[in-house]
Amino acid sequence: MSDPLQLSGFDGRVALVTGGARGIGRAIAETLRDQGARVAVGDLRAPEIDGVLGLELDVTDERSVDAAFGRVEAELGAPSILVVNAGIYIVEPFEETTLASWQKTIDVNLTGAYLCARRAVGAMREDGYGRIVMIGSSAGKTGGARSAAAYGASKAGVMVLAKSLASEYAAFGITSNALAPTLIDTEMIAGAPDMSDRIPVGRLGTVHDVADTVAFLASAHAGYITGEVVDVNGGFLID
Ligand code: NDP
């Protein structure tokens, strides 16, 4: 692994990462903590991570979102960094996708992003500073390599949501960007066929590939980058 990042802009800042009990979200939380932010992580079961406030959070439930933000505000301060990471990935043929299954994916991946961002932006606007990073997917550009229409549609939605917030809130010192990762080695893709030979750099992505990119976008160095979707994909999709 490369040397740890050295970024600035995190002292005194509070970050909230959704879906961070494991995988990419956990690495993002640990990276932001190591950069000096005060970090809270929400997940369906409150995570235990050293030096991080663990919260129970269901991003699909407006009351749960409000309660989690309330605890972060009370214990750490209002988040000026929001990382929308919670997501689910259901592979199923389109004709077998029930309305309930479709809605579950849209609820977690897209409506959850809307609920968290809507709860976060007021304090950022008043503070004149904010960093929003949403984890999309290359599937939101291509539709995905396998049968996962709801997932692809939800990820397209979340990446456009990040752009919409970028235009609406740029004047308030808030940047909003998304990532479009592909094939990051986590439990989410554990059951998928090995596709590393289709990645030009010759390996799967690591959670640190994603976390370091999020940290840069959340840092003081990225104030002129907003409305962007950053591919973290080893050259899998060059567009
Ligand atoms: P994981 O499945 O390892 O982690 C996702 C986390 O989100 C889990 O801890 C899960 O909790 C949590 N979560 C699920 N539903 C909710 C909810 N309603 N409220 C709060 N938390 C919830 O996935 P990854 O770390 O791989 O993925 C993280 C993000 O990156 C996702 O948005 C994913 O779509 C995206 N991504 C991943 C890629 C990959 O190749 N891994 C590629 C492109 C994008 P629980 O375990 O309890 O279900």
36 domain-assigned: yes
Tell me which residue range forms the domain holding 90: 14-232
From the candidates 129, 151, 169, 224, give the one annotated as an active-site residue. Answer: 151
Interior/surface letters 168-195, b for 16+ CB within 10 angstroms, e for the rest: ebeeeebbbbbbbbbbbbbeebeeeeee
Under-70 pLDDT residues of the chain: 1
2 domain-assigned: no
Q: Tell me the CATH number at 141.
A: 3.40.50.720
Please state, for a pLDDT cut of 70, what percent of the chain lies above it.
100
Q: How far is CA 37 from CA 14, 193, 224, in A?
A: 6, 37, 20
Pocket test for ligand 1, best of 56, 65, 85 (most atoms within 8 A of CB): 85
Q: Categorise residue 234: left if φ over 0, alpha if ψ from -120 to 50, beta otherwise.
A: left
142 domain-assigned: yes
The helix or strand, by DSSP H or E, that contains position 176, with its residue range, turns out to be strand 174-181
Catalytic site residue 129?
no
Q: Which residues lie below 8 Å from residue 214, measured CB to CB, with a gap of 6+?
A: 28, 31, 32, 83, 133, 135, 179
Q: What angle do CA 23, 217, 21 make, to 5 degrees?
A: 20
Ligand 1 contact, 21 CB (< 6 A) = yes
Q: Which residues pair with 132 in a beta bridge?
A: 82, 176
Ligand 1 contact, 105 CB (< 6 A) = no
9 domain-assigned: no
6 domain-assigned: no
Number of domains in the chain: 1
1 domain-assigned: no
pLDDT tens, residue by residue, 113-164: 999 999 999 999 999 999 999 999 999 999 998 899 999 999 999 999 999 9
4 domain-assigned: no
Question: Which residue minimizes the CA distance to atom 47 of ligand 1?
Answer: 44
What is the pTM (predicted TM-score) of this model?
A: 0.98
5 domain-assigned: no
